[in-house]
């Protein structure tokens, strides 16, 4: 008989290859034993009572906008919101904060804010923008998880899109540094050209907005990035891919051996262009929510296992920037606020389409950990990994309201949506950080500097 710090009892544990009724023993923040542990005791015991025990989500794509625009979200509210959704690690994007994370000084400043305020672990992306190629090595040496660039306009004056020459130079350097470049892939030329046409005609409806960012704009940018990756040898990660056309190109490039991963976001799977028509600016994002037929194709690709991972792209702003009274759809800030609901969305889709929960765990934790160098410590419920855990009930539903959405600003496309499941508890390093509607803050999160990630035991 052994005594552990904590035993999570009687859950259906989502292991890498199966879901198994088991107890999980945790010591010093690390998973020590999984199985029938009736003979063992925990200093604390948590009765999971037939709920599902998932690995804590690793959300590789959020925008917390701190320092500089913490009033948009910030590490404190943002990390609490993620914890309430079963997320225990996230990677913050290099734009929307001031300064942008495009040199070492800015990186360290952001890391300090994160270490002071985040309640879960985090990594930080560095930016590739025109003129900062010589900063990439310093950013890599200081521990960025990877780099991010935009092929289309960012909507943010402090973070310019990468022109083609910058992309080529940056990719060559990022390959040398053995890092990954994440790309927002939409053609700037196509989107600007179509936007200008619509503006000249005074057309600002949801359908007009969607028409300015067609599937072809995404596919063209993806194709170009793939060619540049082949020229430079750079590893790529495509963020928020929203079309089957782009996926065809990515799939073909994978087949010919390019080292590429691809994410999509819950909102492209759960919503479509009708939602933009119905809900307006809270449903504005880029690429835009697609037509129902395209949404169905994305779900089919998900079921086939074509997406490597799922990220939220949580990208909130104060409501004034989305207020339809003062902004038409073209002017309103684009970005979906909903980082709390990624795991629940994927569980909903898994229930609807009979997708095994192991796949959900893989998309939300296993593959992100593997791809970004965290797998010695994170990403699976397994002996030796950090006890980062999300407990999900299928016996409860969860209707999103202002009271149970933990983001700083409550306007969201998810408002009013009812999930057929509920995250009831989140453990970070074996400590309860969230339980039944309450944040139970136990210590700060750690900045996961990419070169310093060692096994916990
Ligand atoms: Zn984003």
Query: What averages of pLDDT result for each successive group of 10 residues across the chain (457 residues)?
Result: 96 97 98 97 96 98 96 97 98 96 98 97 98 97 97 92 98 98 98 97 96 98 98 98 98 98 98 97 97 98 98 96 92 96 98 98 98 97 98 98 96 97 98 96 89 65
Tell me the CA–centroid distance for residue 10 and ligand 1, in Å: 38
Domain with CATH 3.20.20.140 in the chain: 56-377
Q: In the numeric block, which tokens belong to residue 273?
A: 């262009």
Q: Which CATH number fits domain 3-53+382-395+420-439: 3.40.190.10, 2.30.40.10, 3.30.9.10, 3.40.50.1370?
A: 2.30.40.10
Tell me the CA–centroid distance for residue 355 and ligand 1, in Å: 26
Identify the pLDDT of residue 218: 98
Identify the pLDDT of residue 451: 67
Tell me the CA–centroid distance for residue 291 and ligand 1, in Å: 21
Tell me the CA–centroid distance for residue 311 and ligand 1, in Å: 9
Tell me the CA–centroid distance for residue 316 and ligand 1, in Å: 10
Tell me the CA–centroid distance for residue 92 and ligand 1, in Å: 9
CATH 3.90.1150.10 for domain 56-377: no
Tell me the CA–centroid distance for residue 49 and ligand 1, in Å: 37
Tell me the CA–centroid distance for residue 37 and ligand 1, in Å: 43
Tell me the CA–centroid distance for residue 239 and ligand 1, in Å: 8
Domain with CATH 2.30.40.10 in the chain: 3-53+382-395+420-439
Tell me the CA–centroid distance for residue 314 and ligand 1, in Å: 7
Identify the pLDDT of residue 206: 96
Tell me the CA–centroid distance for residue 54 and ligand 1, in Å: 25
Identify the pLDDT of residue 1: 87
Tell me the CA–centroid distance for residue 313 and ligand 1, in Å: 5
Tell me the CA–centroid distance for residue 265 and ligand 1, in Å: 10
């Amino acid at each position: 008989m052994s005594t552990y710090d904590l035993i999570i009892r009687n859950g259906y544990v989502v292991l890498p290859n199966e879901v198994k009724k088991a107890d999980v023993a945790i010591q010093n923040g690390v998973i020590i034993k999984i199985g029938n542990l009736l003979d063992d005791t925990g200093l604390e015991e948590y009765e999971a009572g037939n709920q599902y025990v998932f690995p804590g989500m690793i959300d590789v794509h959020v925008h917390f906008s701190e320092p500089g625009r913490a009033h948009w979200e910030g590490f404190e509210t943002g990390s609490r919101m993620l914890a309430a959704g079963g997320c225990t690690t996230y990677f913050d994007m290099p734009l929307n904060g001031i300064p942008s994370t495009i040199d070492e000084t800015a990186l360290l400043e952001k890391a300090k804010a994160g270490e002071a305020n985040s309640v879960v672990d985090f990594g930080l992306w560095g930016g590739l923008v025109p003129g900062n190629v010589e900063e990439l090595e310093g950013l890599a040496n200081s521990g960025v998880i990877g780099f991010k660039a935009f092929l289309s306009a960012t909507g943010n004056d402090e973070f310019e899109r990468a022109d083609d020459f910058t992309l080529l130079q940056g990719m060559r350097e990022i390959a040398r540094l053995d890092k990954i470049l994440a790309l927002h892939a939409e053609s700037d030329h196509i989107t600007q050209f179509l936007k200008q046409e619509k503006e000249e005609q005074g057309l600002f409806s949801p359908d007009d907005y969607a028409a300015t960012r067609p599937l072809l704009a995404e596919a063209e940018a993806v194709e170009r990035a793939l060619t540049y990756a082949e020229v430079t040898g750079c590893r790529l990660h495509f963020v928020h891919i929203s079309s089957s056309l782009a996926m065809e190109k990515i799939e073909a490039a994978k087949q010919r051996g390019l080292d590429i991963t691809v994410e999509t976001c819950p909102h492209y799977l759960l919503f479509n262009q009708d939602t933009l028509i119905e809900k307006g600016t809270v449903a504005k994002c880029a690429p835009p929510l697609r037509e129902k037929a395209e949404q169905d194709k994305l779900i089919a690709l998900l079921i086939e296992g074509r997406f490597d991972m799922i990220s939220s792209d949580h990208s909130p702003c104060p409501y004034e920037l989305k207020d339809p009274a003062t902004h038409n759809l073209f002017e309103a800030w684009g970005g979906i606020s909903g980082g709390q609901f990624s795991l629940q969305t994927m569980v909903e889709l898994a229930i609807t389409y009979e997708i095994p929960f192991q796949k959900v765990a893989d998309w939300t934790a296993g593959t992100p950990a593997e791809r970004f160098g965290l797998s010695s410590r994170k990403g699976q419920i397994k002996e030796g990994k950090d006890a980062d855990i999300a407990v999900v009930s299928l016996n409860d539903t969860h209707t999103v309201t202002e009271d149970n959405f933990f983001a700083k600003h409550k306007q969201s496309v998810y408002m009013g949506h009812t999930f057929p499941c509920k995250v009831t508890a989140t453990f970070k390093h074996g400590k309860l950080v969230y339980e039944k509607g309450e944040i139970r803050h136990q210590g700060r999160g750690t900045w996961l500097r990419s070169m310093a990630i060692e096994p916990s035991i």
